[in-house]
Structure 1
Amino acid sequence: MNQYYKDYLIRSWEKHHRIPASEVIRCVLAEYGLGWEPDGADKDVLQIEECYLATGGEFWVVEYQNQVVGTGAYYPILRGQKAVEIRKMYLLPQVRGFGVGKYLLQQLEETIKKRGFEQIWIETASVLVEAVRLYENNGYKAATGVETARCDRVYVKKLGVRS
């Protein structure tokens, strides 16, 4: 992945992105009063190779003026039918409101669909109001079975099916 949206570059994760990507996620979590969990829910960010690349997933970063300002990722999961989970979709506050999140979500969906997956699952927390709105406005339906402790919402979207 190497694609521009306005002045933002969405690109595939490389090793030198590990710390900047972690910092973006840590900052956004703190902004909403959620904790950084390097031994729990955020362990995957420190182990991109094992958790994403080796499992058939992808991890992307969003750069603005050569700085990592956002992240987005997915990997295959056993829940549902030919399913993936979108994870770690975070944008720093200064880059929100310009359509970057919606564009990033659309690019993730297109890539996932091209790879033959049929369902996308997303877990989030109600306090992440912008994320909840983004998912609900883009065809994600509330589901049950939250698996991440700090999350209280789970959504699913069937690809190729209009809602």
Structure 2
Amino acid sequence: MQPQQLRQLSRHLVRQLGMLNNQCGTFALTPVQAHTLIELEQGPCSVNQMAILLKVDKSNASRNLAMLLNQDLITTISHPTDRRSQLSQLTTTGQQVLQQLHHQLNLNSQQILEQLDDDEIQCLAKSLHRYSRAITATEQQQQYNVRSITPLDNAAIATIIRNVSMEYGLTSDKGYGFSDPTLDNMAEIYQPEMNHYWVIEKDHHILGGGGIAALAGQDGWCELQKMYFLPELRGKGFARKIAVQALKFARQQGYKGCYLETTAVLKEAVDLYLSLGFVEIPQRMGNTGHGGCEIKMIKTF
């Protein structure tokens, strides 16, 4: 899918769902006001909190809260810890209107789902969840730069790999690549055309990286390698971003598939690989030298 196709589909969905209308369903509520009521169903909110929840500017949130107040759908109460601030909460009328809105929109959604079979619904749920997480990750990654490794990055990325390995107890005496001499020359190791390594930096500081290279001893296969990130990067979707970038690169190079070795200690990494379509296999492939990694996984292209 190309960017313009994604934008076209998104525009079409926005129009079909009525998000450009002045009212939500048959109620005299704009989509933003409906979303505001739904958030207040979880509990009272300040203007700032509502702006964050709805991902709108503070003036937009304030204006819509004022309109809902005029309709007697919400009321304001004093903030328990900040005398300068007030909290908005649903009135009894607001709760009743919201329940009617839920009923109407749930009915509309059910009619849509009836057009899909069970496997299609499962695929849709998974894809929408993944799409939403990708949007969030993109927002969180704005201040960082992903680029190809250079010789000037060698010392920094080697230090990161060793420090993160120690953090998780993945030391050389347990069969891991902590003492791998190639760690000090990563830019040169990943120089061949079929290999590549990416680093992530912010304010000229390297914070992590990951790469892909031909799998030693297994013609036509590549290996996802050396995915290590400092705590600052974790939870921002960079592991998936690098892995996806590496897999796309591997397909372009004509590899048959990708192999990796990891350990149950890195639970988040295992979950990521499974979500990307990797499956566990019983036997090792190639000659990685990672004797301590008990989990072997592949993904065919």
Q: 1:154 to 1:55 in 2, by over 3 A?
A: farther
Give yes or no for contact 2:149–2:187 (8 Å, CA) kept in 1: no
Deviation string, structure 1 residues 16-54 (Cα, Å, up to 9, x no partner):
1011001111111111111168xx823222233553224
Residue matched to 2:168: 32
Residue matched to 1:145: 284
In the alignment, does 2:256 pair up with 1:118? yes
Amino acid at match of 2:146: I
Residue matched to 1:16: 152
Pick the structure with more strand per residue: 1
Amino acid at match of 1:93: P
Give yes or no for contact 1:55–1:75 (8 Å, CA) kept in 2: no
In the superposition, the TM-score normalised over structure 2's length comes to 0.47
Matches within 5 A, 1:1-163: 5-35=141-171, 41=177, 42-48=180-186, 51-54=189-192, 56-78=194-216, 82-143=220-281, 144-145=283-284, 147=288, 148-159=290-301
Q: 1:123 to 1:84 in 2, by over 3 A?
A: same
| CA–CA separation in structure 2 for the residues paired with 1:152 and 1:125 | 6
| CA–CA separation in structure 1 for the residues paired with 2:218 and 2:274 | 19
Residue matched to 2:49: none
Q: Where has structure 1 moved over 4 Å in runs of 4 or more?
A: 78-81
Give yes or no for contact 2:150–2:187 (8 Å, CA) kept in 1: no
Amino acid at match of 1:155: M
Pick the structure with more helix per residue: 2
In the superposition, the TM-score normalised over structure 1's length comes to 0.84
Partner SS for 2:255: coil
- Structure exhibiting the larger radius of gyration computed from Cα positions: 2
| CA–CA separation in structure 2 for the residues paired with 1:98 and 1:55 | 29
Partner SS for 2:258: strand
Amino acid at match of 1:145: R
Deviation string, structure 1 residues 100-138 (Cα, Å, up to 9, x no partner):
111111111111111111200111111011111111111
Over aligned residues, Cα RMSD in angstroms?
A: 2.2
Q: What is the aligned-residue identity percentage? A: 27
Give yes or no for contact 1:60–1:72 (8 Å, CA) kept in 2: yes
C-alpha displacement of 1:11: 1.0
Moved more, 90-99 or 49-58: 49-58
Amino acid at match of 1:75: A
Amino acid at match of 2:246: L
| CA–CA separation in structure 1 for the residues paired with 2:205 and 2:187 | 21
C-alpha displacement of 1:139: 0.5
Partner SS for 1:63: strand
| CA–CA separation in structure 2 for the residues paired with 1:129 and 1:89 | 13
Larger RCO of the pair (alpha carbons < 8 Å, separation 6+): 1
Moved more, 46-55 or 120-129: 46-55
| CA–CA separation in structure 1 for the residues paired with 2:149 and 2:212 | 12
C-alpha displacement of 1:81: 5.9
| Stretches of structure 1 lacking an aligned partner (at least 5 in a row) | none
